[in-house]
Amino acid sequence: MSSVLYDAPGPKARARSRAISIVGVILVLAVLAWLILAMGAPKTSANGAVQPGLWDATRWDVFSDVQVWRSLGGGVIATLKMAGVAAVLALIIGVLFSFGRTADHKAIRVPTAVVLEFVRGMPVLLMILFILLVFSTGSYWAGVSALAIYNGAIIGEALRAGIQSLPRGQREAGLAIGLTPLATRFTIEFPQAFRQMLPIIIAQLVVLLKDTSLAFIVGYSELLRVGVKNLPDFFGNRYLFSFFLVVLAIYLAMNLSLSWVARFVARRSGPKAGKLVDPEPTLTPKDPLASVRGGYSTGDAGGQGPA
């Protein structure tokens, strides 16, 4: 552990830091163990009936039923179906938005900017409800189209930032060799911008995958609704907590693997790829202090994110 902020620790300071670290681990483990034990302890409710603890076998025996796993699998497929279609549409909409936003004519640029600002400032849930009620599309298409429009707007902004960060010479060179403005954009500017922004786009797709759970609220039977509503309704409320934990684990597995892909792509095609491009100077993860302070770099959308 070396840092420019303080002198290199001597043997005493190192020993102290190690001791605190061990105490910290013990403390965290103790709190976790206490929580797990407290949840596992049988509870007596007000009327004197004793409920078994949350880790009791009677709360978990449903999972030996193949049918339960089949339903959960159906939920996962429904979630992925919504996320997949919405992701493809979001990419298409994002490309259209980025072209509209960088168009030469003011008559295209200004309305696009207004629409983008409007869409980005609205909750996705409100958009889902709006599409569901106004166009009466059914919950699946309401969810897909709202997610596609919202995430398309954010991807569009990312692509625009990518296009604008390119050196002017790229466009000028394209025009100079006789390509039309549109061909220049498609064959020269856009591929570079897309590559530059790929980590942000994938991070946004993780957000999209997470947001499919909003369709739960309008009644689409995806993983969340199947896992924490339909199945507990059928098998009894005492399984609610068990189902919740399983659903959480499935979501984490899906999202973490997609995040991992995002990080992998960020490492491969991050700021250093394409040396012509000047990456945003401040918040880039390749910064030296990152390693000094022991953090690791992520290529995530950061502030764009938690919708």
Alpha-carbon torsion, ordered 99, 103, 106, 110, to 10 deg? 20
Stretch that binds another protein, among 61-69, 169-177, 211-219, 269-277 (CB under 8 A): 211-219
Cβ-based burial of 262 (10 A; exposed 0-12, middle 13-18, buried ≥19): buried
Compute the distance between CA of residue 169 and CA of residue 265 in angstroms, rounded to an integer: 27
User: 3-32: which residues touch another protein (CB under 8 A)?
Assistant: 3-6, 17, 20-22, 24-25, 28
Candidate residues 85, 89, 108, 129; the one interacting with another protein per rule CB under 8 A? 129
Q: How far is the CB of 43 from another protein (least distance, A)?
A: 7
The residue (of 81 and 210) whose beta carbon lies closer to another protein is 210
By CB under 8 A, tell whether 240 contacts another protein. yes
Stretch that binds another protein, among 56-64, 87-95, 120-128, 165-173 (CB under 8 A): 120-128
Q: How far is the CB of 229 from another protein (least distance, A)?
A: 9
Q: For residues 218 and 143, is the Cβ–Cβ distance under 8 A? A: yes
Tell me which amino acid residue 278 is: D
Tell me which amino acid residue 303 is: G
The residue (of 128 and 166) whose beta carbon lies closer to another protein is 128
One symbol per residue from 244 to 263: x for binding another protein (CB under 8 A), - otherwise; what is it?
x--xx--xx--xx--x----
Stretch that binds another protein, among 127-135, 160-168, 192-200, 271-279 (CB under 8 A): 127-135
By CB under 8 A, tell whether 304 contacts another protein. yes
| Residues in contact with 165: Cβ distance below 8 Å, sequence separation at least 6, in sequence order | 193, 196, 277, 278, 279, 280
Q: For residues 1 and 9, is the Cβ–Cβ distance under 8 A? A: yes
The residue (of 181 and 295) whose beta carbon lies closer to another protein is 295
What burial letters (b/e) apply to 166-192, b meaning 16+ CB within 10 Å? beeebbeebeeeebeeeebbeebbbeb
Record the tokens describing residue 138, joined without a space.
């059914």
Candidate residues 82, 124, 200, 201; the one interacting with another protein per rule CB under 8 A? 124
Q: For residues 131 and 137, is the Cβ–Cβ distance under 8 A? A: yes
Q: For residues 139 and 219, is the Cβ–Cβ distance under 8 A? A: yes
The residue count for binding another protein (CB under 8 A) is: 69
By CB under 8 A, tell whether 178 contacts another protein. no
Q: How far is the CB of 168 from another protein (least distance, A)?
A: 21
Q: How far is the CB of 171 from another protein (least distance, A)?
A: 26
Side-chain-side CA neighbours of residue 30 (13 Å): 6
By CB under 8 A, tell whether 217 contacts another protein. yes
The residue (of 62 and 228) whose beta carbon lies closer to another protein is 228
Q: For residues 188 and 207, is the Cβ–Cβ distance under 8 A? A: no
Sites of contact with another protein (CB under 8 A): 1, 3-6, 17, 20-22, 24-25, 28, 39, 43, 117-118, 120-126, 129-130, 133-134, 206, 210-214, 216-217, 224, 228, 240-241, 244, 247-248, 251-252, 255-256, 259, 281-285, 287-290, 292-296, 298, 300, 302-307
